[in-house]
Amino acid sequence: MQLVHNNGKHNHRKLLQELIQDSETSVLCSGWINLAGLKRLMGSIDLAIRNKASITVFSNRKHTEAGAVEALRMRPEVRHFIANEDHRYLHSKIYYFEKGGQYTALIGSGNITRGGLVSNEELSIRLTGTIGDARQEQISAYLTNLQVVLKR
């Protein structure tokens, strides 16, 4: 386990950029997404798309800027699930990545906003392990359930 915070060069933005572009699977779950935050990750997302990575994004309709929705829509390779008022309010901030039988999960307080990625006082924990371990199975089950709930 490692603590991650927005402290100078070592912040959520930098870590997420690295993880997105280096992973075979990326799941970005953020209740709030604004275009300023998404732009900070878009280069890594585009590189991951070129590398044939699987990318899924979860967010709230009420707190996802129209420009961010459009930017994701322009990338049909990205699956974007949006919670609306008919669903439970999505407040989770979890970023999950897989590569070569290993996973990394970043779970904490930072949304995909400029503040959440760079300037706010945010704190997350970084967990790593082998796909199929008990912790990974719990995280995977949560994300699978979230996808099912938001498809309703």
pLDDT tens for 23-61 read: 999 999 999 999 999 999 999 999 999 999 999 999 999
CB distance 20 to 57 below 8 Å: no
What pLDDT sits at residue 10?
Answer: 78
pLDDT tens for 94-145 read: 999 999 999 999 999 999 999 999 999 999 999 999 999 999 999 999 999 9
Q: What is the pTM of this model?
A: 0.95
Domain ranges in the chain are: 2-151
Residue 22 in this model has a pLDDT that exceeds 70: yes
CA-to-CA dists, residue 79 to 28, 64, 71, 82, 87, angstroms = 10, 15, 12, 10, 18
Q: Determine the CATH number of domain 2-151.
A: 3.30.870.10
At 87, is the pLDDT very low, low, confident or very high (cuts 50, 70, 90)? low
CB distance 48 to 25 below 8 Å: no
What pLDDT sits at residue 147?
Answer: 87
- Concatenate the DSSP letters of all residues of 102-119 into one string: EEEEEEES--BSHIIIII
